[in-house]
Homo-oligomer: A and B are copies of this chain.
Amino acid sequence: MSIIKPSIPSGTRDFGPDQVKKRNYIIDILKKIFELHNFLPIETPAMENLSTLLGKYGDEGDRLIYKILNSGDFLNNLPDHLWKTKDINSWIEYLSDKGLRYDLTVPLARYVVMHRNEINFPFKRYQIQPVWRADRPQKGRYREFYQCDIDIIGTDSLLAEIELVTLADEVFTQLNLSTTTKINNRKILQGIAQWLCVDAEGFIPFTITLDKLDKIGLEDVLSSFKEAGWSDNNITKLKNLINFSSTNKDWSEVEIYLNKILGDSEVGLAGLDEISFIMRNLDFINLNNNLIFDITLARGLNYYTGTIFEIISNEMSIGSICGGGRYDDLTALFGLQGLSGVGISFGAERIYDILEKLNRFPDFITREDKILIVNFGENYLKYSLPILLDLHKAGFIADIYPDEVKLKKQFNYANELKFKYVIIIGEDEIANDEVSIKDMYSGEQVKISKNNIISYLKNKEL
C-alpha cells in the first residue's frame, strides 16, 4: 500500500489542545449565561434533507450547501435522457437528497414545526453546533465553523429584545471585552424609505446600499443613490439624517427627530414605538457596554421584520461579533404561521480572534496546576499508584510518567506539558514514608509526609 501524505480539506481546521480549551472557554461562558436566562439547549442533525435546506438562502446559498452523495448506484435510476444531457443540474435529485446544515436558523424553524406539540411557547432555545459552507476559503473564513444562536419563538413581546441586549452585555462583560450594540428597526427603515420616496421595490436595494456606509463612507453611499436616480432634495434629506444620527447619540433627541420625519408613515411610527419601548426600559438596567441607535444599520437578511441588532468590538476592527433581529414568520416556510421570533448569533470564531490578539484569554485555561509523578520502575508503583488515585479523588490533574527513563527526560516532559508540580518517590522517600514535591515554577523542592500531600498541595493553591 502506498503511503499517503496526510492533509485535511482546505477551509477546515484541526484544533490542538490549547485551541480547544480556549474555544471551550468562550462556549462555556455563552452556555452558562444562556442557561441563567432559561434558554434551553437543542441539537439537530448535521445532515438535513435537501428539501429542507434548498431555496432558503438564495441561489448563492444553494450553491454553497454541501451535498451528500446518495448511497448505492444511483446511476441505475438516472433516466437515459437525463444521462445523455450530461447536465449536472438535471441530475441533482438522483445524486443527492441530503446536505450539511448551512446555519442554525433553518434547522430551528424545521425543529419548531416538527416538534410544535412538545414545545411550550414562548420557546427559548440555544444551539451551539458547527455549520458548513462550500465558500471560497480565505483568511478568517472557514468551511466548517461554529454558530452559537439563541432565539425566542412565539412572542411579540419586546421584553425578548430587551433580554437579548442584556444577555449580550453580560456575555461581553464576562469575556472582558468592550463593545457597542447598535440597534435599529426594519420598520423605521421602511418609514424612512417612504419619507425619501423610495417605493416598495426599491426598499431592499436601499437597505443594502445604506448598510455599506461603514465600508465605503457617506459620499460614496450618496453617489450610489444619485446614480440610482434620486432627487437632490432626497439626497440632502438622507445626508442630514445620517449626519444627525451620527452626532446625536442621546436617544430622547433622536426620538423627537424621528417622530418628525416619520410622521406620515404608519409602519415607521410603529417601528419607532418599538425602539422607544426598548430604550425606555433598558434605562432600568445598568449595561456595562455601549448601546446606540443606528439609523444606518440594515442587516443583509430579508427575513428580518422588526428590531435588528449588531454588536462590534470597541477595541478591534473586525466586523460584527454578534448580530440578529426579529423575524415575523420564519416557520411559515414549513407551514406554521403566526410565530414571531427574535434571535441573535454570537460569532465565536471572531471573538476567539479578538481575545487572542488582545491577549484576553485568562492564564488558567492553558496553565492548570498539574502534577506529574516520576517513574522509577515497577518496584515503586505500589507506592505511587495509590498516591496518583488520591490526587485524582482530591480533584487534581495528575499523571505518572509511563516509562522508566532518565529523570532528565521526565522533567523535560513536565516542563513541555506545563506541569506545575513534580512528585518524586525514590528509595529514600519510601523509607521515610515521604514524597519530594518540586514546584516547577519556583524551583522550590520540599519533602512532605505521605499523608500530608493533599493538604500541602491544597494549601499551596489557596
Chain A residues proximal to chain B, CB less than 8 Å: 1, 3-9, 12-17, 20-21, 23-24, 35-38, 40-49, 51-52, 55, 63, 66-69, 71, 73-75, 78, 83, 86-88, 95-98, 100, 110-111, 113-115, 118, 120, 122, 124-125, 130, 132, 134, 143-144, 152, 155-157, 159-160, 162-163, 166, 170, 277, 281, 284-285, 333-335, 370, 375, 378, 381-382, 385-386, 389, 392, 395-400, 402-403, 413, 416-417
Among B23, B100, B392, which residue has its beta carbon within 8 angstroms of that of A36? B392
Distance (Å) between the CB of A17 and the closest chain B CB?
4
Known: A38-B399, A47-B132, A63-B71. 6 other contacts (CB 8 A): A6-B110, A36-B396, A37-B398, A46-B130, A75-B87, A160-B402
Q: Are A7 and B49 neighbours in the complex by a CB distance under 8 Å?
A: yes
Q: How far is the CA of A355 from the CA of B143 in the complex (A)?
A: 37
Q: Are A69 and B96 neighbours in the complex by a CB distance under 8 Å?
A: yes
Q: How far is the CA of A49 from the CA of B12 in the complex (A)?
A: 11
Cβ contacts under 8 Å, A285 to chain B: 385-386, 389
Q: Are B166 and A46 neighbours in the complex by a CB distance under 8 Å?
A: no
Among B69, B134, B382, which residue has its beta carbon within 8 angstroms of that of A67? B69
Q: How far is the CA of A379 from the CA of B86 in the complex (A)?
A: 67
Q: How far is the CA of A375 from the CA of B143 in the complex (A)?
A: 44
Can you report 12 A-B residue pairs in the complex whose CB atoms are below 8 A from each other? A3-B334, A8-B47, A8-B114, A9-B47, A15-B42, A17-B125, A24-B41, A36-B397, A47-B144, A73-B88, A156-B403, A159-B375
Q: Are B98 and A16 neighbours in the complex by a CB distance under 8 Å?
A: no
Which DSSP category, helix, strand, loop or mixed, fits chain A's interface?
mixed
Q: How far is the CA of A21 from the CA of B42 in the complex (A)?
A: 9
Q: Are B16 and A115 neighbours in the complex by a CB distance under 8 Å?
A: yes
Q: Are B52 and A6 neighbours in the complex by a CB distance under 8 Å?
A: yes
Distance (Å) between the CB of A392 and the closest chain B CB?
5
In the A-B complex, the 8 residue pairs with the closest CB atoms? A12-B45, A17-B40, A157-B402, A20-B41, A3-B335, A38-B399, A15-B43, A67-B69
Q: Are B398 and A36 neighbours in the complex by a CB distance under 8 Å?
A: yes
Q: How far is the CA of A350 from the CA of B342 in the complex (A)?
A: 37
Q: Which residue, of A36, A44, A49, A170, has the highest number of chain B Cβ atoms within 10 A?
A: A36
Given the interface pairs A36-B392, A71-B134, the reply to whether A114 lies near B6 with Cβ below 8 Å is yes
Cβ contacts under 8 Å, A69 to chain B: 66-69, 95-96
Q: How far is the CA of A345 from the CA of B333 in the complex (A)?
A: 41
Q: How far is the CA of A110 from the CA of B7 in the complex (A)?
A: 8
Closest-by-CB residue of B relative to A395 is: B36
Q: Are B4 and A334 neighbours in the complex by a CB distance under 8 Å?
A: yes
Among B75, B156, B160, B370, which residue has its beta carbon within 8 angstroms of that of A38? B370
Q: Are A9 and B41 neighbours in the complex by a CB distance under 8 Å?
A: no
Q: How far is the CA of A14 from the CA of B43 in the complex (A)?
A: 6
Q: Are A392 and B170 neighbours in the complex by a CB distance under 8 Å?
A: yes
Given the interface pairs A46-B144, A75-B88, the reply to whether A55 lies near B1 with Cβ below 8 Å is yes
Cβ contacts under 8 Å, A36 to chain B: 392, 395-398
Cβ contacts under 8 Å, A160 to chain B: 402
Cβ contacts under 8 Å, A134 to chain B: 71
Q: How far is the CA of A56 from the CA of B348 in the complex (A)?
A: 34
